[in-house]
Amino acid sequence: MGSGKTTLLHDIIKSAGTRGVQLNVLMNEVGRTDTDSSVLKRADKNLAIESLLDGCMCCNKKSEVAGAICKLASQRPDAIVVELTGVADPEEVADTLSEPELLSRVELKRVISVLDGENLLDYSSIFTADREMVRTTTKQITFADSLIVNKMDLVTQKKLDKIKKLIEKESPGASAVFTEYCRVDLEETVFNSLNDGSGRMERERDNYEEKLGHSRIKTIRLDIDGPLQSKRAVENFFKTFRPGLLRAKGYVPVKSEHKMYLMQHVIRKTSWERVEVTSSPFLILIGLELDEKRIQEEWAKLHAVS
């Protein structure tokens, strides 16, 4: 919300052009008017932009995200930059990237949060009575791979000390760049993360396992060779990996009921919906710094019991 996200995005696009990197952009505006696309076009007049207006892509616009990203991905850019609104929960948007139509086409490389140094403490105070907004603003700090605290020319030393304490409280050990006008080392903040993959997006991948670049968020695919013993066995499996496991979804056959279910798990809640599908069953796990080796071992034990 006025932190300087569009300024940073403008600089990223301009720098990408000099590096020969093709970027596409997905923008989100809470209002009904697209106010920033024209600004970004100044950096690259041929820039492909999709805009989701009049809502937030972490809630009422979430269902439109996959289609917009697929449209941008079909042009086979080197990367797609998604600019969220200032009130968006980045975890919710990252979860959208686990939708089946996206898993084989895109991978999350980096989450960058731009914080308004001038007003950050005021926002924290204003949102105190709103649990959802407190959670969202906290996630914007804890979920980020890179934190940029902007507008430092308007921040006193006293306020800076408080900001550092807030960041340390919400995300111990997190590194942050303190700057003005979003001037940062784009090579380190953005472009290095694009060089650890295969370059241009692939239409197909051999499997769904996503390591998501340097992000703390990891996605793991678990194959299901046959019906599992029970719903409770699966839910107990999830409990083993709290609090790191944030989300799970997939098609799960249950032996005790002789049925196939669409299973969705969020934090502590698991839902089961009876479905008729012919595709192979699988599970996708999403979480913070998940121990894949241990997960695969425990999953194998669950299969052995089944």
Fold of the domain built from segment(s) 5-196: Rossmann fold (3.40.50)
Rg (CA), the chain: 21
- Between CA 235 and CA 128 the distance in angstroms is 33
Query: Which superfamily is assigned to 217-305 in CATH?
Result: CobW-like, C-terminal domain (3.30.1220.10)
User: Quick one: pLDDT at residue 188?
Assistant: 92
> Which residue has 């089944």 as its token pair?
306
**Confidence band for 225, pLDDT divided at 50, 70 and 90:** confident
CB atoms within 10 A of CB 98: 21
Q: What is the pTM of this model?
A: 0.66
pLDDT digits (tens, 9 = 90+) for 96-114: 887 777 877 898 888 999 9
User: Quick one: pLDDT at residue 211?
Assistant: 37
Q: Confirm whether 5-196 and 217-305 share one CATH topology.
A: no
pLDDT digits (tens, 9 = 90+) for 173-193: 888 999 999 999 999 999 988
pLDDT digits (tens, 9 = 90+) for 230-281: 999 999 999 999 877 878 888 899 988 888 898 888 777 888 988 886 667 8
- Between CA 84 and CA 304 the distance in angstroms is 43
Q: Can the peptide bond before residue 253 be classed as cis, meaning omega within 30 degrees of 0?
A: no
Q: Domain locations in the chain? A: 5-196, 217-305
